[in-house]
Amino acid sequence: MQGIISKAQTIGMLIALVSTIGGGFYAYGVFNNRLDVVENKKFVVNQEVDLTDVHDRIAEVKDITLTGDAEVKNLITTGNKELRKLIDAGDAINAEAIRNLGVVLETIKKDIAINSAAIEYLDAKINEIKAEMSNPMM
């Protein structure tokens, strides 16, 4: 009886060993198939993205910003001159309105500066995406 159990254990261990080795070879084969698929895949390294529309919009916004900046400076200069005239004339109500207008114009000027910085940031992001798209490792 002891011999039969020993033989059954030996046969069982042999079957387990062969199954384990076979499973390892199977996993190795699957891994190699995956590598072969990746190696044979055609990659487009120099894929180009058409960003002309984006660049046109950025140029348009820059033009508007530059034109708006000049207009704001002109309005501030004109407003300051008018403010001096009204202050000299003693018209306190209109002077306060023009002071408020000057504050609003300064706020607009700050908003234009913020928008210019945002445009520069977006330009940098576009360049980063271009560089990322041209990276063959991605």
Residues 73, 126 share a domain: yes
Interval 32-67: pLDDT, tens:
888 888 888 776 666 676 778 878 888 877 777 666
Residues 14, 57 share a domain: no
Q: Write down the pLDDT at residue 54.
A: 78
Range of the domain at 2: 1-41
Share of the chain above pLDDT 90, in %: 3
The span from the CA of 107 to the CA of 100, in Å, is 11
The alpha-helical segments, DSSP class H, found in 1-138 are: 2-40, 52-89, 92-133
Residues 59, 35 share a domain: no
Residues 61, 128 share a domain: yes
Interval 84-126: pLDDT, tens:
666 666 556 666 777 777 788 888 888 888 888 889 899 999 8
Residues 122, 73 share a domain: yes
Q: Is residue 70 part of a domain?
A: yes
The span from the CA of 29 to the CA of 17, in Å, is 18
Q: How far is CA 31 from CA 17, 28, 138, in A?
A: 21, 5, 21
Nearest to 65 by CA among 15, 21, 120: 120
How many domains does the structure of the chain reveal? 2
Q: Write down the pLDDT at residue 46.
A: 64
The span from the CA of 136 to the CA of 43, in Å, is 8
Determine contact, residues 133/47, Cβ cutoff 8 Å.
yes
Residues 78, 120 share a domain: yes
Q: Is the pLDDT of residue 76 over 60?
A: yes
Residues 89, 21 share a domain: no
Residues 128, 100 share a domain: yes
